[in-house]
Structure 1
Amino acid sequence: MALTIDLTDRVALVTGGAKGIGRGITEVLLEAGATVVTCGRSEAAPPAGADHRVCDVREPEAVADLVAGVVADHGRLDVVVNNAGGAPYALAAEASPRFHEKLVDLNLMSALHVSQAANRVMQQQERGGAIVNISSVSANRPSPGTAAYGAAKAGLDALTGSLAMEWGPRVRVNAVDVGLVRTPDTADHYGGDATVAEIERTIPLGRMADLAEIGRVVAFLASDLASYVSGASVACHGGGEQPVFLYVAQNHHVGPEQGESK
């Protein structure tokens, strides 16, 4: 029989779900039949069919009110996607302690606050629930210029496994370690289309992900198709990042006979 991702009758909350990667996730969940609520620190226009709430997910009290409001309006909460996050470029030696604290709050602690509030609801539901944390490849390799962000995402992957163990069998918790993704701002961020094309040549699949590809991984993890998947950090990065030494060697046409393998 054909396998489809069916989230009909599921209520989902996507933090930061009105723009960027979060918007792509919201669109896929809506396509799969879910009722979706997005949230952000300010008013925003989510994809058609979604509802948006204003909430600073770094504040536990605000998060508790957010989750209570979703349940009051929709009667349940089946899926949470902790997508809120990000970081501007800043060298660790120069950034202030407050800057680092804010990044950890946004990229790690906010996911814990939302997950705790959601878990209290999901544990009481016959069908339980699913939590998906949007992490990053920065969790698993050095992240120069975004050191606190990388450390927070490593913490998010660790948190995922711990919560899955504590909250099962009623609640499944997984993470998606996201690589490079094309958004409307990609070319501006990297300095133009030519630079983006050069970056994409370093990715084994030859391109950055599009937004829907991240959303489909999230939808799978939220669905019954992933009913025995919990505590996992799923890599969604197109095959990984090529080692710098190999990229340099290839660009200088260094063949096997010229290099040394170990």
Structure 2
Amino acid sequence: MELDGRVAVVTGGTRGVGAGIARAFLAAGADVVVCARRPPDAPVGSAGRTARFLPVDLRDPAAAEDLFARVAHRHGRLDVLVNNAGGTPHRLLRDGGPARHARVLELNLTAPLTASLAAHDLLHASRGCVVMVGSVSGTRPSPGTAAYAAAKAGLESLARTMAVEWAPEVRVNTIVPGMVRTELSHLHYGDEHGVAAVGRTVPLGRIAEPDEIGDAAVFLASGRAAYISGASLLVHGGGERPAYLGAAAADRDAAAADRGAAADRDATAGAVEAPPGAPAGTPTGTTDHEEG
């Protein structure tokens, strides 16, 4: 398979998007290590293979160094680091306070930097790559998740600079997912009807599955992306329909006018002019239902 013999570490790989990424790497043939502060409820597996779990808090530089030392001892190499761990509660800026917002920044920006620095020597030796998992939140205003959005925007910037500083031995790219269905979707979107309703706002008509984000990560880690570095890959189903389009009257008025014009054309096409001197309503031909 495409990543046979490669070793990948997926941070936050025990559930949600991270588990989807881990499954995709397993299916592509890689040996996968998933890490998080807590073990998964069930082993992460795919294609008859299972990811190895190692506990770690990546906000601690010493713990990050120890994690990659253990990976090197067990596997002898590291080819891919996927910086996926992160997240945030919904909290308006005025409700959080500086310390809480700082913790969100630490988890979503500082921790990926810490992990990348700890993995650098192994990745340099294997001519490997780093895949950052960003978010569309980092590309537009995100009320209620401001610190998270700022961290994700910073993560893209960090990746672009790393791609320059660490080239040519290490490639660095960012996946920018949109909405993804995970175990926690109900907290954001409600029941299945809510998830479906949210999905209909996406041009492709649904939200993503975790394994689809994983497929994008596998591509960026593979030889097919050998000349891609410093890039951001949008995986968002076409993005978000701008809110102003729903509020604007121009489109609705134009559509109504088009429907009216079409109706007029249909009526004209269906009418047959009577010959001169014929009484009104005199039939001058047949229609389909009159034949025979």
* TM-score exceeds 0.5: yes
After TM superposition, the runs of 4+ consecutive aligned structure 1 residues lying more than 6 A away are: none
Q: Which piece of structure 1 moves more, 80-89 or 197-206?
A: 197-206
Are positions 1:6 and 2:5 aligned together? no
Deviation at 1:247, TM superposition (A): 2.8
Are positions 1:39 and 2:35 aligned together? yes
TM-score by length of 2: 0.82
If each structure's helix is expressed as a fraction of its own residues, which one has the higher value?
2
In the alignment, is the contact (CA less than 8 A) between 1:137 and 1:177 conserved in 2?
Answer: yes
What are structure 1's unaligned runs of at least 5 residues?
none
C-alpha separation in 2, matches of 1:207 and 1:257: 25
Partner letter of residue 60 of structure 1? P
C-alpha separation in 2, matches of 1:93 and 1:80: 35
Deviation at 1:68, TM superposition (A): 0.7
The aligned counterpart of 2:81 is: 80
C-alpha separation in 2, matches of 1:191 and 1:57: 31
The aligned counterpart of 1:63 is: 64
C-alpha separation in 2, matches of 1:112 and 1:15: 12
Are positions 1:155 and 2:151 aligned together? no
Deviation at 1:188, TM superposition (A): 4.5
In the alignment, is the contact (CA less than 8 A) between 1:38 and 1:46 conserved in 2?
Answer: no
Decide which of 11, 15, 24 is 1:15's aligned counterpart. Answer: 11
Deviation at 1:42, TM superposition (A): 1.6
User: What percentage of aligned pairs have identical amino acids?
Assistant: 48
User: Size of the alignment, in residue pairs?
Assistant: 252
Deviation at 1:254, TM superposition (A): 2.3
Partner letter of residue 229 of structure 2? S
Deviation at 1:132, TM superposition (A): 0.1
Matched residue SS, 2:254: coil
Q: Which piece of structure 1 moves more, 40-49 or 239-248?
A: 40-49
Deviation at 1:257, TM superposition (A): 6.8
Matched residue SS, 2:64: helix
C-alpha separation in 2, matches of 1:182 and 1:111: 23
Give the alignment of 1:104-183 within 5 angstroms.
Answer: 104-123=105-124, 125=125, 127-183=126-182
C-alpha separation in 1, matches of 2:43 and 2:131: 19
1:125-180 C-alpha deviation (Å, 9 max, x unpaired): 2x411100000001110010000000000000000100000001000000001100
Matched residue SS, 1:255: helix
C-alpha separation in 1, matches of 2:204 and 2:236: 9
The aligned counterpart of 1:93 is: 94
In the alignment, is the contact (CA less than 8 A) between 2:189 and 2:198 conserved in 1?
Answer: no
Are positions 1:236 and 2:206 aligned together? no
1:185-220 C-alpha deviation (Å, 9 max, x unpaired): 323431222222221111000100111110000000
In the alignment, is the contact (CA less than 8 A) between 2:14 and 2:39 conserved in 1?
Answer: no
1:32-90 C-alpha deviation (Å, 9 max, x unpaired): 00000000012224313110011001111100000111011100000000000011000
In the alignment, is the contact (CA less than 8 A) between 1:41 and 1:56 conserved in 2?
Answer: yes
What are structure 2's unaligned runs of at least 5 residues?
257-292
Taking only aligned residues, the RMSD between alpha carbons, in angstroms, comes to 1.8
